[in-house]
Amino acid sequence: MEVKVIRSARRRKTVSARLIDGVLVVRAPQHMTQKALEEAITTLKTRLQRRQEASTLSDEALQQRAQMLNRQYFGGKLRWRSIRWVTNQQRIYGSCTPQRQSIRISHRLGKMPQWVQDYVIIHELAHLLEPNHGPRFWQLVNRYPKTERARGYLMAVGLEPMEDAKHDDIAND
């Protein structure tokens, strides 16, 4: 990606960037060191790339998939206010806040097989009934026949801890 840097004596602290006709235009303070500027550009490029990847994911399609899985594995009894793709989950694959009835799914799952995405959605849906990772929670999740396979896949890509699937100390929620 081509980068154009514009330094300004009026700019004091912040670095900003915009994509203009395929060129990343970075505005930075005049006094900023080259090393600090390069680090900021790397961060801004990563952030832009994540946003571009996430923009291809449809929250509406995710909602429809969750509704289908709810009917299939939970008898259609679960309710949530929102389920959406997010770009700020780099170490976890999803999160659920039962009190708010909100579910967030990492955009990084968008490139993974559908059966892995389904496992993560089911995992987070199960938290609407069981907020912890106790035995009742795993009974709900294990209704999905590809749970172990999906967990193995996530372990292989480093998103699932390397521990027994039945323990309730999973760090990825």
CATH number for 70: 3.30.2010.10
What are the tens digits of pLDDT across the range 47-103?
A: 887 676 655 688 999 999 999 999 999 999 999 999 999 988 877 889 999 999 999
Q: Residue 47 is part of which domain span?
A: 2-55
pTM: 0.65
| pLDDT in the model for residue 161 | 57
Tokens of 55: 């923009």
Residues 132 and 66 occupy one common structural domain: yes
Alpha-carbon separation of residue 16 from 6, 8, 13, 37, 124 (angstroms): 10, 12, 10, 11, 35
Higher pLDDT, residue 173 or 110: 110
